[in-house]
Chain A
Amino acid sequence: MVYVIIKELSPSADEVIIVTSSLMKDMTSKTDMYRANAIRVLCQITDGTLLTQIERYLKQAIVDKNPVVASAALVSGIHLLQTNPEIVKRWSNEVQEAVQSRAALVQFHALALLHQIRQNDRLAVNKLVSSLTRGSVRSPLAQCLLIRYTSQVIRESASNTQTGDRPFYDFLEGCLRHKAEMVIFEAARAITELNGVTSRELTPAITVLQLFLSSTKPVLRFAAVRTLNKVAMTHPIAVTNCNIDMESLISDQNRSIATLAITTLLKTGNESSVDRLMKQITTFMSDIADEFKIVVIEAIRSLCLKFPLKHRSLMNFLSNILREEGGFEYKKAIVDSIVILIRDIPEAKESGLLHLCEFIEDCEFTYLSTQILHFLGIEGPKTSDPSKYIRYIYNRVHLENATVRAGAVSTLAKFGAMVDSLKPRIFVLLRRCLFDTDDEVRDRATLYLNTLGADGAVEDMKEFLFGSLDIPLVNLERSLKNYEPSEESFDINSVPKEVKIQPLAEKKAPGKKPTGLGGPPPSPPSTIDAYEKLLSSIPEFANFGKLFKSSAPVELTEAETEYAVNVVKHIFDGHVVFQYNCTNTIPEQLLENVTVIVDASEAEEFAEVASKPLRSLPYDSPGQTFVAFEKPEGVPAVGKFSNMLRFIVKEVDPSTGEAEDDGVEDEYQLEELEVVAADYMLKVGVSNFRNAWESMVPDCERVDEYDLGPRENLAEAVNAVINLLGMQPCEGTEVVPSNSRSHTCLLSGVYIGNVKVLVRLQFGIDGPKDVAMKLAVRSEDEAVSDAIHEIVASG
């Protein structure tokens, strides 16, 4: 008992020397229980120095005959591994011996400790697993551990999946027939979680799980249904055999099991079973809590998108549950689902919109009402008979609170603007709104009446009233704050349209759910589409044409410098744009008017055309500045550019965050950057090189031999040429087996001008280290083939 108390109090080792010394005495006492407990206590309160003193006893304890003592030492080892790993690693030999122990749990603990010690060494783990799968494992817990480690090994050797069965799959399958249920389940779960598992491999696991579904123990049913639910997401067909058992689970006492069963059935159901499912779900929904209901709604949504023909019954179901009691999140989920269905299934539009109208008649959530009204405004006018919806919308103007009334007025105006035939009636309704008690409602009504009622440019009016604002609100707010009232009125065109690219850490990953009423979240710009958008939003570069390629960022400064700059090279047909991404790492400085002065004296074919400075670069917020060059069109010009960062630096008071008014001009030297031939080549792979090669006309083929001179080894030479050309290696030919004397490498790519190029390289080692290479190029244009040879010849 005292041991337990000492552990609870957990004093540090130097405080209680007496306790520790008496514990150490206990470690060598004759009674095993004391030894075991003393070990556990000591290891919890010990520190490094004390540990080295008792290490000898611990090592002895690990291989002690008494299993309680051994387990105690091993478990303490697992805990100590977090704080003193080097010491524990010295015990590997003893732990290895303990793995062979006859006592069941000692083997379990020893296995756990040994795996943790050897975790980072893949080969050792592999050996451990192989020896144990062949040997005997005595306790179900140890077997479960072994299964987990086996899956880990399978996952890490996942590269070669062409060759028949996976390694160790037979072991996992054998475990499905073990005596202990926990082992059977662990093995079934491991099989379902294998990467790229096939239906053939899944079948035995699913059969076993199906048996669990009808067990009397709720835990087994829960475990099985949860695993099957996960499998149904990727392999719904494999799970359909279990559908009958799962349908009986819908009425299970345990609500979690029932919900999981329903969502699985929704994923695996086919069209005929949908009606039956819907009937059962209706009774079920009233029993479960809101959080479960939302899960079911989302499953129903995916089901409807899968079987669009069933939209009528599913839509009816959704609107029925919308009418019942429920919290905000729940109703929002339902509304989002209906909106998505309306958008994606055109036949469902009319009924869906009507359902939504009926809902807003008595919806208690203002947010939902306004969102639905807005949505009605967009979709309603496009339907065949928009006037149906007017009554619902107009009722909102009378009966609801001010926010909803204002929303309803806007929606009415939209109908009026889009549908000419309704205009006169809309005007009558809007005129009545002029007498509303709320300012916003009256203002809106007046605005719409005047703008829409007037003759003349109706199209512009519509764009003004209802078009979306493509200026980010943040920038607009900032500009308005900076604007001082003066003679000149505020010019909305002066608001910068670019959004500052926020550091990736701030942006959360966009959710996997399709968005309903809200807009899609912005994603961090790092793909070629994002670059295209960015460049085309800058007016100076907008007419450069299509972006051919953007290189990866190249660092122009070393790490830990005051200003971190990297450059992305954008290649167009007749221009090259350098995008410099700058970060200021000095909190006491604010940089303004940041530009890069580029010296292109070593790149004769380039002429500077435009440069876009970065207005302001505060601390820790990256910004971009651009410099554009003109180059002869279609020619893959190369050159070296030296760069200098020029800016005005202002001191910032770190406590207030405000900058001084005047600054000093300063310069900062950056590294050189090169435009090379590889920049003009897009890495595009082909799946069947031989076919592609045959399909290319041989008279555009050029073959030549080169001597690459002495190289470290063949692999290094191969890599050097691949990097020089910038093409994509195909069919895994970039991997050179060690100690080989020759190698053939197949490359493919797309050259500027959209010319497909295929290259076959044959390497051979001559003499001690001389590498010779034969280069065969085939492309759609012989000039390009020549160009490729030029690159290699000069590289």
Chain B
Amino acid sequence: ESCPSIKNILLLDSEGNRVAVKYYSDEWPNNSVKEAFEKSLFTKTQKTNARTEAEIAMFESHIIVYKFVQDLHFFVTGAENENELILVTVLQGFFDAVGLLLRGTVDKKEALENLDLILLCLDEIVDGGIILETDANVIAGKVASHSIDAAAALSEQTISQALATAREHLARSLLK
């Protein structure tokens, strides 16, 4: 597999608890394994200073790049032989996009209040391990366009409403 692939992206708070995470690899089969990984990763990187520049570490035969801001910790994990600079580009894209979406105040409270934006952001960066986009402006733009458009956008409604809309569409197309 020579396509660069990401194993997970994690956003933890300053105590190591989850804010938003997404795993793209089967190496962590269930939730307790994932949480154990997050906890031990957090403890290992806690004392380092990753605020000005992204830091890097090898952990359990993965490469982790990470960056801290206020009370949030961003992590991106890749395989041992992955190009570290590609991982850092993904990390930077995620970091800057979140900064744009939260309009400058990047801290835990803002993140939790706009969790939907963060999750959309994660979705737009990596799809199933393959990098979709690394430019923060483009990512933020895609996320924003999800939430702005009000006219019958499926993304604005809840699932039941979406299903109702879908049924309407189906009925209409059958009648045509």
Q: Is there contact, CB below 8 Å, between A218 and B53?
A: yes
Q: Is there contact, CB below 8 Å, between A220 and B85?
A: yes
B149 CB–A CB distance under 8 Å: yes
Given A22-B165, A75-B128; A256-B56 close (CB under 8 Å):
yes
Which of B152-176 touch A at CB < 8 Å? 153-157, 159, 162-163, 165-167, 169-170, 173
Q: How far is the CA of A189 from the CA of B4 in the complex (A)?
A: 14
Name B145's closest neighbour in chain A (CB-CB): A33
Q: Which of A25, A108, A182 makes the CB contact (< 8 A) with B85?
A: A182
B84 CB–A CB distance under 8 Å: yes
> Interface-forming stretch among A1-9, A195-203, A384-392, A468-476?
A1-9
Q: Is there contact, CB below 8 Å, between B146 and A33?
A: yes
Q: Is there contact, CB below 8 Å, between A189 and B83?
A: yes
Q: Is there contact, CB below 8 Å, between B162 and A22?
A: yes
Q: Is there contact, CB below 8 Å, between B154 and A26?
A: yes
Q: Which of B116, B127, B159 makes the CB contact (< 8 A) with A40?
A: B127
Q: Is there contact, CB below 8 Å, between B48 and A79?
A: no
List chain B residues, Cβ under 8 A from A116. 3
List chain B residues, Cβ under 8 A from A189. 83
Q: How far is the CA of A185 from the CA of B86 in the complex (A)?
A: 10
Q: Which of B3, B48, B147 makes the CB contact (< 8 A) with A145?
A: B3
Q: How far is the CA of A468 from the CA of B149 in the complex (A)?
A: 83
Q: How far is the CA of A565 from the CA of B133 in the complex (A)?
A: 58
Interface residue tally for chain B (C-beta within 8 Å) = 48
Q: Is there contact, CB below 8 Å, between A18 and B163?
A: yes
Q: Is there contact, CB below 8 Å, between B131 and A141?
A: yes
Name A1's closest neighbour in chain B (CB-CB): B155
List chain A residues, Cβ under 8 A from B134. 141
Q: Is there contact, CB below 8 Å, between B159 and A5?
A: yes
Q: Is there contact, CB below 8 Å, between A219 and B85?
A: yes
Q: Is there contact, CB below 8 Å, between A1 and B85?
A: no
Q: Is there contact, CB below 8 Å, between B2 and A33?
A: no
Name A109's closest neighbour in chain B (CB-CB): B130
Q: Is there contact, CB below 8 Å, between B83 and A185?
A: yes
Q: Which of A21, A71, A256 makes the CB contact (< 8 A) with B166?
A: A21
Q: Is there contact, CB below 8 Å, between A1 and B146?
A: yes
Q: Is there contact, CB below 8 Å, between B55 and A254?
A: yes
List chain A residues, Cβ under 8 A from B167. 18
Q: How far is the CA of A502 from the CA of B74 in the complex (A)?
A: 49
A774 to chain B, nearest CB (A): 50
Q: How far is the CA of A186 from the CA of B81 in the complex (A)?
A: 11
Given A19-B166, A33-B142, A79-B128; A145-B2 close (CB under 8 Å):
yes
Given A22-B170, A31-B149; A256-B2 close (CB under 8 Å):
no
Q: How far is the CA of A31 from the CA of B127 in the complex (A)?
A: 20
List chain B residues, Cβ under 8 A from A493. none
Q: Is there contact, CB below 8 Å, between B155 and A75?
A: no
Q: How far is the CA of A20 from the CA of B83 in the complex (A)?
A: 37
List chain A residues, Cβ under 8 A from B127. 40, 72, 75-76, 79
Name A18's closest neighbour in chain B (CB-CB): B166
Q: How far is the CA of A218 from the CA of B153 in the complex (A)?
A: 44
Q: Is there contact, CB below 8 Å, between B86 and A141?
A: yes
Which of A593-648 touch B at CB < 8 Å? none
B88 CB–A CB distance under 8 Å: yes
Given A1-B120, A25-B173, A149-B2; A218-B130 close (CB under 8 Å):
no
A539 to chain B, nearest CB (A): 50
A603 to chain B, nearest CB (A): 54
A179 CB–B CB distance under 8 Å: no
List chain B residues, Cβ under 8 A from A5. 159
Q: Is there contact, CB below 8 Å, between A112 and B166?
A: no
List chain B residues, Cβ under 8 A from A33. 142, 145-146, 149
Name A17's closest neighbour in chain B (CB-CB): B170
Q: Is there contact, CB below 8 Å, between B159 and A2?
A: yes
Q: Is there contact, CB below 8 Å, between B128 and A4?
A: no
B167 to chain A, nearest CB (A): 6
Which of A123-173 touch B at CB < 8 Å? 140-141, 144-145, 148-149, 152
A56 CB–B CB distance under 8 Å: no
List chain A residues, Cβ under 8 A from B163. 18-19, 22
List chain B residues, Cβ under 8 A from A21. 166, 169-170
Given A3-B155, A222-B56; A71-B142 close (CB under 8 Å):
no
Q: Is there contact, CB below 8 Å, between B84 and A222?
A: yes
List chain A residues, Cβ under 8 A from B169. 21-22, 25
B112 CB–A CB distance under 8 Å: no
List chain B residues, Cβ under 8 A from A75. 127-128, 130, 132
Name B162's closest neighbour in chain A (CB-CB): A2
B165 to chain A, nearest CB (A): 7
Q: Is there contact, CB below 8 Å, between A219 and B149?
A: no
Q: Is there contact, CB below 8 Å, between A217 and B166?
A: no
Name A151's closest neighbour in chain B (CB-CB): B2
Q: Is there contact, CB below 8 Å, between B119 and A4?
A: yes
Name B166's closest neighbour in chain A (CB-CB): A22
Q: Is there contact, CB below 8 Å, between B142 and A34?
A: no
A452 CB–B CB distance under 8 Å: no
B118 to chain A, nearest CB (A): 11
A216 CB–B CB distance under 8 Å: yes
A626 to chain B, nearest CB (A): 46
B89 CB–A CB distance under 8 Å: yes
Which of B49-101 touch A at CB < 8 Å? 49, 53-58, 65, 83-86, 88-89
Q: How far is the CA of A79 from the CA of B132 in the complex (A)?
A: 13
Name A104's closest neighbour in chain B (CB-CB): B135
B120 to chain A, nearest CB (A): 6
Name B172's closest neighbour in chain A (CB-CB): A25
Q: How far is the CA of A7 from the CA of B173 in the complex (A)?
A: 25
Q: How far is the CA of A140 from the CA of B4 in the complex (A)?
A: 12
List chain A residues, Cβ under 8 A from B35. none
Q: How far is the CA of A316 from the CA of B127 in the complex (A)?
A: 55
Q: Which of B2, B55, B149 makes the CB contact (< 8 A) with A218?
A: B55
Q: How far is the CA of A256 from the CA of B44 in the complex (A)?
A: 12
B123 CB–A CB distance under 8 Å: yes
Q: How far is the CA of A44 from the CA of B65 in the complex (A)?
A: 28
A746 CB–B CB distance under 8 Å: no
Q: Which of B57, B83, B130, B154 makes the CB contact (< 8 A) with A256?
A: B57
Q: How far is the CA of A116 from the CA of B5 in the complex (A)?
A: 14
B21 to chain A, nearest CB (A): 12
Given A19-B166, A75-B128; A144-B142 close (CB under 8 Å):
no
A68 CB–B CB distance under 8 Å: yes
List chain B residues, Cβ under 8 A from A418. none
Name A68's closest neighbour in chain B (CB-CB): B142
Given A1-B120, A33-B146; A182-B132 close (CB under 8 Å):
no
Q: How far is the CA of A182 from the CA of B131 in the complex (A)?
A: 14
Q: Is there contact, CB below 8 Å, between B133 and A105?
A: yes
Interface centre among B84, B145, B149 (most CB of A within 10 A): B84
A181 to chain B, nearest CB (A): 5
List chain A residues, Cβ under 8 A from B54. 217-219
Name A78's closest neighbour in chain B (CB-CB): B130
Given A25-B173, A75-B128; A185-B154 close (CB under 8 Å):
no
List chain B residues, Cβ under 8 A from A109. 130
Q: Is there contact, CB below 8 Å, between B49 and A2?
A: no
Q: How far is the CA of A577 from the CA of B102 in the complex (A)?
A: 81
List chain A residues, Cβ under 8 A from B132. 71, 75, 105
B→A interface (CB under 8 Å): 2-4, 48-49, 53-58, 65, 83-86, 88-89, 116, 119-120, 123, 127-128, 130-134, 142, 145-147, 149, 153-157, 159, 162-163, 165-167, 169-170, 173
20 A–B pairs (Cβ distance < 8 Å), ordered by A: A4-B123, A18-B166, A21-B170, A31-B153, A34-B153, A72-B127, A75-B128, A75-B130, A76-B127, A79-B130, A115-B3, A141-B86, A144-B86, A145-B4, A152-B2, A219-B55, A226-B84, A253-B48, A254-B48, A254-B55
| 18 additional A-B residue pairs with CB within 8 Å, beyond A4-B120, A31-B149, A75-B132 | A2-B154, A2-B159, A5-B159, A22-B154, A25-B173, A26-B154, A40-B127, A141-B131, A145-B3, A149-B2, A182-B85, A185-B84, A218-B53, A219-B53, A219-B55, A222-B84, A253-B48, A256-B58
9 closest cross-chain pairs (CB), A and B? A22-B166, A182-B85, A148-B2, A223-B84, A222-B56, A1-B155, A219-B56, A112-B3, A219-B88
